[in-house]
Amino acid sequence: MKLQRFSEFLSRSRPPLAGALAQWFLTDKGQQLEHMERALLEPQLTRHFGSYIVYYNPPVALATAPHIRHAVRLGDAQLEVQLQCTEHKWPIAADAVDVVVLQHSLDFAASPHDVLREAAHCVRAGGHLIILGAHVWSLFGVYRHCTRSVWRHAHCLAPARISDWLGVLGFSVEKRTYGAYRPLLKSHTLHGKLAPLEQYASAKHLPIGGCYMLVARKMVHGMHPQTHSLRLNVQKLGPSVVTAHTPHSKHIKHSEEHDRSS
């Protein structure tokens, strides 16, 4: 009986948190964290090329990907997204997207496994997953236990665990980096004076930052059950990548041949 109750506790549905997280990022502390995370994400996005990038449940304004033609916002109805969906059923076809960005999407998902599986499913071979999450072993990890904000509900999964999940899904982690070494403060002036601490810790690549960024490349196709009725045609977004036959599929084929030959 006790084991059954414990199982029911673990499987309880969580309230939608995407909107609450977006509201938190509008606070002084949220803007400080956004600034530090943007310093990690934007330089990384300049290294990616292609036709489509997907942001799932973006809690802040989108970081610019200058060499990717179309950006798609996907996720919860609480946010300003172009496509609404649940975390376990994305309306994107397999191997259709060049890059997927998950900024704290795993931290606040009811099932991080489902989000990661759906994201992996829609990335083309040779494409990338970029994951930003809160680091549990940091000052920010301590902060989430002391706050009454939405962060007290965060999973704060370890980067090593996510890397293991990515390996099972056929991804190779190419980069792991940390940021947000400075504590979040009510005073923007004092927070700015701690900028040298951020620069020093970043230069030393210390694994104690408040957030981490994982960049993983899709090496092989993973097995994924596909229900065609759930894969919607969203041509209103521009040249569609969600159908099976697109001009972009030629590039996917060449990428797969290159991966097999290398």
Describe the strand order of the beta sheet including 50-56 as a list of residue ranges: 83-84, 68-75, 50-56, 97-103, 123-134, 211-218, 171-179
pLDDT above 60 (res 91) = yes
Res 11: pLDDT: 43
Res 121: pLDDT: 96
In the chain, domain spans? 15-261
Res 220: pLDDT: 65
Residue 256: Cβ-neighbour burial (10 angstroms; 0-12, 13-18, 19+): middle
Over residues 106-131, mean pLDDT: 96
Task: Note the pTM of the prediction, 2 decimals.
Answer: 0.79
**Helix, coil or strand: residue 188:** helix
Res 243: pLDDT: 41
> Is there a contact between 129 and 174 (Cβ–Cβ < 8 Å)?
no
Separation CA 51–CA 49 (nearest Å): 7
- Which residues is 97 bridged to in the sheet? 123
Rounded to 10°, the helix 159-168/112-122 angle is 50
Architecture of domain 15-261: 3-Layer(aba) Sandwich (3.40)
Backbone phi, psi, residue 139, to 5°: -60, -35
- 12-63: pLDDT as tens digits: 456 679 999 999 999 999 999 999 999 999 999 999 999 999 999 999 999 9
pLDDT interval class at 10 (50, 70, 90): very low
pLDDT interval class at 97 (50, 70, 90): very high
> Cα dihedral sign for 201, 43, 134, 23?
positive
Backbone phi, psi, residue 184, to 5°: -80, 125
